[in-house]
Structures are given as structure tokens and as C-alpha cells.
């Protein structure tokens, strides 16, 4: 593989420099670099960010290859600037054994678009009854460190406590989908004025907050690591702030869609806006943005949830919850957080690369763009405006809530250990 010389990129939004990528690492950083035989990538006006890391991606393989595969999902990830994604365990079969997580990890290596770190299920079959073999998944070739029943909540407090205790032995983390099941039976959208008007069963904020409060206290008690998936309410932000003040090892993520969209969209009855947890109110959106800006919420995670047409294009009540997100994540964060002056590009790098990598621990990701570090990075055009077209995306599914919208900022190139996976905005 030849060396790549990136000319004139604004390093995490700062001053322009040249970056020489050679032998999988950042070999030189400086002005006026040259190297005979290197492939030149002109990055005038582009921002160089460390390769993005997603803690929450649904790749659907094995089991729902009609919605997504490791190949198509990781191709989408690369186009979105990601160099590592954590693949959620709610596949069919469930990723609750060393065999399944190794299969997913291997498919990621074969596809070669970005690194795949499989998430292991906390409980057998996601049934919430019996702990899965967390240790054997950790010891497997996939080296699992993040465990989650995402899609379902680990609602049994005793199981949750034991899981957090157990993974301490290998520095693992339990990523909780916080949804009290009894409080959300039959829920279709956020509980509030809009659900009353539309006559849809509500999913109350308290169902998320009750689990987060409980799990933060449990994490403090056992001295274990808790990560809260897709925080969606103002009250959840307050609880996480409180847990961090206590010094407990609690981290949290927010999705791009919860930073931008509100439950007013449910009035369209278009199931593309049905997602779990549901879109909330503008007050929640404002609190989530504030929480992400001040560091209460540690990072952004996509919850990329592709669904086949027949699962999504039905009436609201029957549709599966979820939205695609890998190819729009950075643009939505730019719109919600950078254009509003709430985050700088340097802070975006922290919240979409360094911090998620610190939480999920994928090997060699989320490192600073310095000499000797793995050459995982992306180049972003911060002035670009582009129109979302689901049919032009790499993901196999069409359920983007931004179809036809114009979004700011575009990923132009992505490099995985110095090898381009995306160039000129297209698969390399």
C-alpha cells in the first residue's frame, strides 16, 4: 500500500497542516511535507477529525440480511466518517455466545470498511432471565468489552447488579437500554400533549428516568461501569449529572435524531419518525444539547437501526421502531451543535471519537492525530450542503428521517489505518 499525503487539512478545526500516512500510522505532521510516490489528497478547507467511533450500530447480521449486512452497514459507516462501530447484539441468533460475536467480528474484518467491535448480549436470548456467558465473549477473538440487551431493558435489578459486578474482571461495561417495561406497555410515542391529541399510547419520560436512577445507584454500589444508551429526556440529563457529581462510573450517549427532531413529527403519522426511545419535546432537545455541550452526556452514538420496507412502511402502530443514521450523523451533529455554536470541531472529535473509544475500547481508535498513532481519520467539508437521498446511500434500508432535507457538512474521505475507505465522498 502506498503512502498517502494529505495536504492542508485543518487539524480538528485548527490551522492547516499536512499529514503523511504511511505503514498504517500517522508518520509525519507538519507544513510543506513531501514524499516521493505518495498519493496526494488535497484537503484545502477540509477539517481532519480522528476516525469516528460509534458505540451503537445495528448491523442486523446474522438474521436480517434483508435490512442490513455487515458489508453494507460498515460501508455506510465509512461514508459517515466512522472507522469503528460497535455492533448491537439483537441479531437472530442473538449475539450471546463467543461463536456469534466471533462470526460478526470476522465478517467485519472481511468487509474491511471499518473495524467492527461486537457487543455481547447481557442475557441469554435477550430474555432478561439468565446471564449470558460474558466471560467467554470477552475472551473470544472478538474481545467483547461492551455488553447490552439493547432493544430491551435489563429490567431485573438483581441481574443488572450481577452483570455490572461480573464485567469488572475484564474492564467491561454494561450499556443499558433504559425502558421500564411495565410503564411502556403498548407505547407508541412520547407521552405528552401530542400523544393525547393523536390518540397514541404514550411512552413517559419517567420510564427512562426510573431505570437510569436505579442503575446509577447500582453502579455506585458495586463500583462498576454503567453506560446509558440513547438518553432522550431532560430529566435523564439531570440524573446523569447527579451520578457524575457522586463520582460514579457512569457514561451516557445521545443520538443525532434526539438532538434535532421532536415529537411534533408524529402528527404526520409517518412511521419513519417512530423510534425507541421516542422523539421527545423541544425542552428535552434543548436539555440534551446542553448536556452534550457541558459533558454531562459523554458522546454521540447513532443507534443506526435499518429496517426492511415491509417492517417500516405500514401504519404507525405496526411499524418497527428505528432510523438509519450512520451516513447522516456528523451532518446532523453539525446542524444541531456546531452551527448553533454549542460545539467546536475539536469538541465534536471528543464526543464522536475520543470519548466513545474510551468507553468501548476498540483497539487503536479514538487516538489523537499525532505522529506514531494509527492513521484512522476522516476529512470533512464544513461548508458543504447536501441533500439526503436514501436511494443513494450504502445502507440497505431506506428509513432515514432526513429524506430530501439539505444538511450541512459532508464527509469527503475516510482512512482506516492509512488506507482510504472513502475518497471524494464515494467508497474508495
Residue 365 contact partner, candidates Zn ion, ligand DOR, none, CB within 5 to 8 A by sort of partner: none
Residue 411 contact partner, candidates ligand DOR, Zn ion, none, CB within 5 to 8 A by sort of partner: none
Q: Which one of 10, 58, 312, 410 is in contact with ligand DOR (CB under 6 A)?
A: 58
Residues 158-187 that bind ligand DOR (CB under 6 A): 177
Pick between residue 202 and residue 321 the one whose CB is nearest to ligand DOR. 321
Sign of CA dihedral 41, 393, 119, 293: positive
140 with 201: CB under 8 angstroms?
no
Count Cβ neighbours within 10 Å for each residue of 148-185 and write b for 16 or more, e otherwise.
Answer: bbbbbbbbeeebbbbbbebbeeeebbbbbbbbbeebbe
Cα 300 from Cα 57, distance rounded (Å): 12
Instruction: Give the binding range for ligand DOR (CB under 6 A) out of 5-13, 23-31, 316-324, 372-380.
Output: 316-324
Cα 400 from Cα 57, distance rounded (Å): 14
Beta-bridge mates of residue 82: 52
**Residue whose Cβ sits closest to ligand DOR:** 322
Pick between residue 331 and residue 397 the one whose CB is nearest to ligand DOR. 397
122 with 149: CB under 8 angstroms?
yes
Q: Which one of 138, 299, 300, 305 is in contact with ligand DOR (CB under 6 A)?
A: 305
Cα 280 from Cα 34, distance rounded (Å): 51
Q: Which of 115, 303, 311, 381 is the catalytic position?
A: 303
Residues 238-277 that bind ligand DOR (CB under 6 A): 275-276
Query: Is residue 202 a contact residue for ligand DOR (CB under 6 A)?
Result: no
Shortest distance in whole angstroms from residue 70 CB to ligand DOR: 15
Query: Is residue 89 a contact residue for ligand DOR (CB under 6 A)?
Result: no
Pick between residue 151 and residue 172 the one whose CB is nearest to ligand DOR. 151
Shortest distance in whole angstroms from residue 255 CB to Zn ion: 9
85 with 105: CB under 8 angstroms?
no
Cα 337 from Cα 346, distance rounded (Å): 12
Query: Is residue 322 a contact residue for ligand DOR (CB under 6 A)?
Result: yes
DSSP secondary structure code for residue 120 in this structure: B
Residue 208 contact partner, candidates Zn ion, ligand DOR, none, CB within 5 to 8 A by sort of partner: none
Q: Which one of 150, 249, 263, 298 is in contact with Zn ion (CB under 5 A)?
A: 150
Shortest distance in whole angstroms from residue 302 CB to ligand DOR: 11
Q: Which one of 150, 249, 253, 327 is in contact with ligand DOR (CB under 6 A)?
A: 150
Query: Greatest CA span in the chain, whole angstroms?
Result: 67
> With 0-12 CB in 10 A as exposed, 13-18 as middle and 19+ as buried, what is 349?
buried
Shortest distance in whole angstroms from residue 68 CB to ligand DOR: 10
Pick between residue 275 and residue 422 the one whose CB is nearest to ligand DOR. 275
Cα 207 from Cα 124, distance rounded (Å): 24
The yes-or-no answer on residue 363 being catalytic is no
Query: Is residue 321 a contact residue for ligand DOR (CB under 6 A)?
Result: yes
Pick between residue 88 and residue 334 the one whose CB is nearest to Zn ion. 88
Shortest distance in whole angstroms from residue 20 CB to Zn ion: 41
The residue among 351, 321, 353, 323 whose CA lies nearest residue 336 is 351
Shortest distance in whole angstroms from residue 311 CB to ligand DOR: 9
Pick between residue 232 and residue 414 the one whose CB is nearest to Zn ion. 232
Cell numbers standing for residue 102: 466471533
DSSP string, 319-377: SPP-B--TTTHHHHHIIIIITTTS--HHHHHIIIIIHHHHHH--TT-S--S-TTSB--E
User: By rule CB under 6 A, what count of residues binds ligand DOR?
Assistant: 11
Shortest distance in whole angstroms from residue 280 CB to ligand DOR: 13
∠ CA(302), CA(234), CA(353), 5° rounding?
Answer: 30
Cα 218 from Cα 426, distance rounded (Å): 45
Contacts with ligand DOR by CB under 6 A lie at: 58, 90, 150-151, 177, 275-276, 305, 320-322
Active site residue ranges: 303
Contacts with Zn ion by CB under 5 A lie at: 150, 177, 229
Amino acid at each position: 500500500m502506498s503512502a498517502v499525503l494529505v495536504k492542508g487539512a485543518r487539524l480538528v478545526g485548527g490551522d492547516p497542516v499536512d499529514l503523511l500516512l504511511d505503514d498504517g500510522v500517522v508518520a509525519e505532521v507538519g507544513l510543506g511535507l513531501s514524499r516521493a510516490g505518495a498519493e496526494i489528497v488535497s484537503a484545502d478547507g477540509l477539517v481532519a477529525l480522528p476516525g469516528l467511533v460509534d458505540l451503537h450500530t445495528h448491523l442486523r447480521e446474522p438474521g436480517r440480511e434483508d435490512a442490513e449486512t455487515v458489508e453494507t452497514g460498515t460501508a455506510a459507516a465509512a461514508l459517515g466518517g466512522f472507522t469503528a462501530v460497535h455492533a448491537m447484539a439483537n441479531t437472530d441468533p442473538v449475539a450471546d455466545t463467543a461463536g456469534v460475536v466471533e462470526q460478526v467480528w470476522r465478517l467485519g474484518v472481511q468487509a474491511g470498511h471499518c473495524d467492527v467491535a461486537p457487543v455481547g448480549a447481557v442475557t441469554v436470548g435477550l430474555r432478561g432471565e439468565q446471564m449470558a456467558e460474558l466471560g467467554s465473549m470477552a475472551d473470544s477473538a472478538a474481545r467483547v468489552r461492551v455488553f447490552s440487551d439493547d432493544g430491551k431493558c435489563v429490567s431485573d435489578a438483581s441481574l443488572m447488579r450481577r452483570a455490572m459486578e461480573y464485567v469488572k474482571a475484564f474492564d467491561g461495561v454494561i450499556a443499558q437500554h433504559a425502558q421500564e417495561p411495565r410503564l411502556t406497555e403498548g407505547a407508541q410515542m412520547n407521552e405528552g400533549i401530542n400523544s393525547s391529541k393523536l390518540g397514541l399510547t404514550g411512552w413517559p419520560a419517567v420510564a427512562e428516568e426510573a431505570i437510569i436512577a436505579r442503575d446509577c445507584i447500582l453502579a455506585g454500589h458495586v463500583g462498576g461501569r454503567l453506560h446509558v444508551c440513547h438518553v432522550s429526556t431532560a430529566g435523564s440529563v439531570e440524573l446523569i449529572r447527579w451520578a457524575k457529581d457522586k463520582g460514579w462510573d457512569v457514561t451516557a450517549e445521545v443520538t443525532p435524531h434526539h438532538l434535532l427532531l421532536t415529537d411534533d413529527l408524529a402528527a404526520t403519522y409517518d412511521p419513519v419518525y417512530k423510534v425507541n426511545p421516542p422523539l421527545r419535546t423541544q425542552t428535552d432537545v434543548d436539555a440534551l444539547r446542553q448536556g452534550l455541550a457541558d459533558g454531562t452526556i459523554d458522546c454521540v452514538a447513532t443507534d443506526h437501526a435499518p429496517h426492511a420496507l415491509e417492517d417500516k412502511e405500514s401504519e404507525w402502530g405496526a411499524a418497527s421502531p428505528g432510523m438509519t443514521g450512520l451516513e447522516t450523523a456528523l451532518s446532523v451533529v453539525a446542524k444541531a451543535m456546531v452551527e448553533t455554536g454549542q460545539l467546536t470541531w475539536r469538541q465534536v472529535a471528543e464526543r464522536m471519537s475520543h470519548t466513545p473509544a474510551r468507553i468501548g475500547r476498540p483497539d487503536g481508535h479514538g487516538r489523537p492525530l499525532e505522529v506514531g498513532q494509527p492513521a484512522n481519520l476522516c476529512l470533512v467539508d464544513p461548508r458543504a450542503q447536501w441533500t439526503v437521498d436514501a436511494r443513494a446511500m450504502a445502507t440497505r434500508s431506506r428509513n432515514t428521517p432526513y429524506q430530501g432535507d439539505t444538511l450541512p457538512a459532508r464527509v469527503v474521505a475516510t482512512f482506516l489505518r492509512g488506507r482510504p475507505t472513502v475518497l471524494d465522498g464515494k467508497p474508495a
